[in-house]
Structure 1
Amino acid sequence: MYIETERLIIRKLEWEDLNGVFHIYQDQETCQFLLHDPWTEANKEQNFTEMIEKSDLEIDRAVNLAVVRNQHVIGLFHVWYTEMKRTVEVGYTFSKEYSGKGYATETLKAMIDFIFKHHDVHRIQAVCDDRNVSSEQLCLRAGMRKEAHFIKDFWNKGEWTSSFVFGILREEYKR
């Protein structure tokens, strides 16, 4: 998978991306609303190995992609099939050095377009911690609809957290 946008390249992860991905995931603030703790030197290779193994949406039913600007990994984008027929969920993480510049919006819009054009998907959804205002705003900017607000529905990092669910259907997607 290789996608070019106006300013970015979205592609499969490569081993050369290890340190760029580690830079993103070692940050406590970046990992605040993610399901995992920050990476450490001790676990970065194992974590990256698990991530790079998911490289094909058709074969693996999931894919982890690098978002690259000027040959630097500035973010990650994840797509996986849910248990519901023809439904995928997406997730994303970007380096805080690149926040506020529209890269996440550009990536999410490009990926929504790519998924609907190249895969037999009925629905794309995103789930985020309701405290993650940036993620909420990103989904809305990308044309997703806020569909649900679940209160204290997910146990994560020693506390009950609340979730927003966003979605977009193939038939309502405007190309």
Structure 2
Amino acid sequence: MKIETNRLLIKTFEKHHLNDVYEIYNDDSTCQYLLHDKWTHENKEREFDKKLNNNQLTKENALSLAVLMDDKVIGDLSVWYTDMKDTVEIGYTFSKSVSGKGYATEAVIALINHLFEVVKVHRIQANLDARNIASEKLCRRVGMRKEAHFIQDFWNKNEWTDSIVFGMLKTDFNKFNSEKENY
């Protein structure tokens, strides 16, 4: 699978992407709101193999995608089906070195478009740690709506955390795109 944007190439991971991905995940602040701790030299190959194996979206298997700029991995997109019919959840992580340049927005919009137009999903959602303000802002920038805020509903890294859920239907995305074109 390949998705191209003006500046980015989004595709399944390849073995030679390991060190680029390690640079992203070998950072405490990047992993602060993720479900896992930062990658170490000892576990990087095992963790990366999971991304290599997640190379096709099925009901049983998540999809992990590399976001490349000039042949360097700058981000990681994930998609998996939820228990609800034709509904997927997305996740994303980007290198701090590209923060503020619009790459995450560009990549996530392209992924959302692909999921609605090619995969034909009914609904896309994102579930995030409520303290992750950057992720919340990204959800809003791509046209998702905040649908829920759960108080201390998730135990992660030895603490209870709040979760927020963003969602989007194809009609929301179409409206978002038409409003974007009118600027």
TM-score (norm 1): 0.97
Query: Which amino acid is 1:20 matched to?
Result: D
1:54 and 1:60 in contact (8 A); partners too = no
Shift of 1:61: 3.4
Measure, in 2, the Cα distance between the counterparts of 1:59 and 1:112.
18
Shift of 1:170: 1.8
Partner of 2:181: none
Aligned to 1:56, the other structure's residue is in SS state: coil
Shift of 1:136: 0.3
Measure, in 1, the Cα distance between the counterparts of 2:103 and 2:29.
18
- Aligned-pair Cα RMSD in Å: 1.0
Partner of 1:58: 58
Where in structure 2 are the equivalents of 1:16-165 lying within 5 Å?
Answer: 16-58=16-58, 60-165=60-165
2:154 and 2:162 in contact (8 A); partners too = yes
Give the structure with the larger helix fraction.
2
Unaligned runs of 5+ in 1: none
Query: Which amino acid is 2:52 matched to?
Result: I
Identity of aligned pairs, percent? Answer: 55
Structure 1 moving runs of 4+ over 4 Å: none
Q: For residues 121-174 of structure 1, what are the alpha-carbon distances to aligned partners after superposition, in whole Å with 9 as ceiling and x for unaligned?
A: 110000111111000000000000000001111000000010110000123321
Shift of 1:109: 0.6
Aligned to 1:49, the other structure's residue is in SS state: helix
Shift of 1:35: 0.2
How many residues get paired?
175
Query: Which amino acid is 1:160 matched to?
Result: W
Aligned to 2:28, the other structure's residue is in SS state: coil
Aligned to 1:10, the other structure's residue is in SS state: strand
Unaligned runs of 5+ in 2: 178-183
Aligned to 1:173, the other structure's residue is in SS state: helix
TM-score (norm 2): 0.93
